[in-house]
Chains A and B, each alone.
Chain A
């Protein structure tokens, strides 16, 4: 196995992982504030079509990415209004957002089917990505670096800032947080908007980076993987990053195993590998620590301010 080959495989892992990591990072913040948003897949699709449409019309992929963030955040605001102000059930509302997002993106995207856009490739000079090692560091779309920066920023925010502490307090005990004067709804609204924006940007990866085309439903369930990843990570940023790459590694391994002719295992086994590993890791983790204790205490609970 040559170095070049190994690096090519690593590049595939990074491109498989990035969209999941982006969406999961957003959802982590949402869940830390005590809200469970199952609408990731829908917001991703809305972000995906927004990115493609704007990038296609303007010829500027950066505008496309910004549009995807705005569109994702706007979509998440529908969820926020229903859940925070009208006290609707978070699970049902989140699922509705996924269905809505799938439909809306298909509708908007109808006229963009069959069009080829420009891809959002590395911003570094191509000379840097010529040799294999250079490619490993400089060969990616800006979205890959944005994902890493976002993870670091979220880690810093949640663990090192006062605002992060407030957000976690809201997620752990909304009534107490309110009694000492914090706006539970305001904090959660901001968290949901951030989650929506990240899901939107994650969607843009599908229409600008891994491909440069639009097809309805093209995220093909990645939003659910991102959701599972947050649970898998035990609501910790570091583990979220590791977990995302763990998933990406196994998804890529699956493809390499098949292409290299390891037919002693059925292909379905390889396809189920990431999920199987996730279950095993979760089982080990919950056996070691008191199971599920890391989940924000108010996660998924409807909060109705009494005044």
Chain B
């Protein structure tokens, strides 16, 4: 192991020092090389699959001016560092690391490759050549919460999460607040399965939530597994990251879809123009980065209308689910009446709102 690490290190270091020498002029006609680090397999039909669609859209858009490679199934631990390093050493000038757990690894590698640009998805740490980007998924969750609040008869809703990271906490809070706006007594039972992708565990967790009285379950993990359980148990669910109605024709009410293509195209374009700068992009419903898939035909018209109202509210800026008063689980006031939470506070949120049972 020691030998391998050292060899990799030497290789990377050599490549790093050689790259600036090669210069841009010598390779002016070379296509821009873009690299992607994926958490799951490209076939997860969820998170990674959506990024892969974005990558393909970008490659197609630039017709040969941009080439892109990816590495899938990269763990969110120290083992990600050499993988990111390898991509940079191979001459990828723009590298997207597409999960929260790659944050420190991305910054670490970025230090060794000042010439390459890095974009870390869902993180909050920046560097001269490290930007972050994210989607305001929680806007979509507000629409789902509205639907769930109207469809639930028991007033108990399940939320199947992965890890307690800001993105998931935001989703839970947004969903819960929106559901409570419909029915203030709604309780959201939260189960974190400590994994983004474990279909068997997702199924078992969904079964558990259903047994505990949940009649709507939303998932914040990456597979349609839980939806299939909803279908069997004759309760409702939502797709995550893709239209999953095929897996649960009755249970699937709608899904949040992530559209990453436009962002990837804009960043690659910035690279080609030499105008890339470290940014903190948060695109949402307004920018077309978050959309809802078609509603289930069985969804009552008034429920669909209520959900549409949330979507249009985000489009024209008249609605924000994180508008006070908001209390945390203990009941302490976190956001004053009428105030909206700032993006900065949202990005580092680590508390759940009242009514979340975790």
One of B45, B158, B193, B207 near A215 (C-beta < 8 A): B45
Q: How many A-B residue pairs have CB under 8 A?
A: 117
- Residues on the B chain within 8 Å of A143, using CB: none
Task: Evaluate whether A251 and B43 lie within 8 angstroms (CB atoms) in the complex, with A211-B199, A217-B73 already known.
Answer: no
Say yes or no: is B100 at the interface (Cβ < 8 Å to chain A): no
Greatest chain A CB density within 10 A among B45, B192, B199 is at B199
- A210-B208 in contact (CB<8A): no
Tell me which residues from 72 to 106 in chain A have a Cβ below 8 Å from any Cβ of chain B.
106
- A8-B211 in contact (CB<8A): yes
Say yes or no: is A301 at the interface (Cβ < 8 Å to chain B): no
One of A12, A216, A222, A271 near B194 (C-beta < 8 A): A271
Say yes or no: is B180 at the interface (Cβ < 8 Å to chain A): no
Tell me which residues from 198 to 233 in chain B have a Cβ below 8 Å from any Cβ of chain A.
198-201, 203-205, 207-209, 211-212, 223-225, 228, 232
Bits for B22-43, please: 1 = Cβ < 8 Å to A, else 0.
0000000000000000001101
Smallest CB separation, B196 vs chain A (Å): 10
- B209-A259 in contact (CB<8A): yes
One of B41, B164, B192, B203 near A216 (C-beta < 8 A): B41
- B208-A220 in contact (CB<8A): no
Binding-face segment, A27-35, A260-268, A284-292: A260-268
Bits for B43-68, please: 1 = Cβ < 8 Å to A, else 0.
11100000000000000000000000
Say yes or no: is B341 at the interface (Cβ < 8 Å to chain A): no
Say yes or no: is A15 at the interface (Cβ < 8 Å to chain B): yes
- Residues on the A chain within 8 Å of B195, using CB: 220
- Residues on the A chain within 8 Å of B200, using CB: 16, 19, 206, 210-211, 218-220, 222
- A217-B41 in contact (CB<8A): yes
Say yes or no: is A173 at the interface (Cβ < 8 Å to chain B): no
Give A102's nearest chain B residue, CB to CB.
B73
Say yes or no: is A149 at the interface (Cβ < 8 Å to chain B): no
Docked Cα-Cα span, A261 to B208, in Å, equals 13
Give A5's nearest chain B residue, CB to CB.
B211
Q: Interface residues of B: mostly helix, strand, loop or mixed?
A: mixed
Tell me which residues from 212 to 254 in chain A have a Cβ below 8 Å from any Cβ of chain B.
212-213, 215-222, 251-252
Say yes or no: is A110 at the interface (Cβ < 8 Å to chain B): yes
- A259-B43 in contact (CB<8A): no
Docked Cα-Cα span, A222 to B198, in Å, equals 10
Say yes or no: is A186 at the interface (Cβ < 8 Å to chain B): no
- B204-A251 in contact (CB<8A): yes
Say yes or no: is A9 at the interface (Cβ < 8 Å to chain B): yes
- Residues on the B chain within 8 Å of A251, using CB: 201, 204
Say yes or no: is A135 at the interface (Cβ < 8 Å to chain B): no
Smallest CB separation, B319 vs chain A (Å): 30
- B208-A255 in contact (CB<8A): yes
Say yes or no: is B189 at the interface (Cβ < 8 Å to chain A): yes
- A256-B224 in contact (CB<8A): no
- B358-A114 in contact (CB<8A): no
Interface positions of A (Cβ within 8 A of B): 5, 8-9, 11-12, 15-16, 19, 106, 109-110, 113-116, 119, 206, 210-213, 215-222, 251-252, 255-256, 258-261, 263, 267-268, 271
Please, could you name 5 A-B residue pairs with CB atoms under 8 Å apart, sorted by A?
A110-B43, A211-B203, A213-B228, A251-B204, A267-B164
Besides A113-B45, A116-B224, A217-B41, 18 more A-B contacts (Cβ < 8 Å) are A5-B211, A114-B43, A206-B200, A211-B200, A212-B228, A215-B41, A215-B199, A215-B223, A218-B223, A220-B201, A221-B198, A252-B204, A256-B208, A259-B189, A259-B191, A259-B208, A259-B357, A263-B358
Q: Which 8 A-B pairs have the closest CB atoms?
A: A216-B41, A113-B43, A8-B211, A220-B198, A261-B357, A255-B208, A271-B194, A258-B191
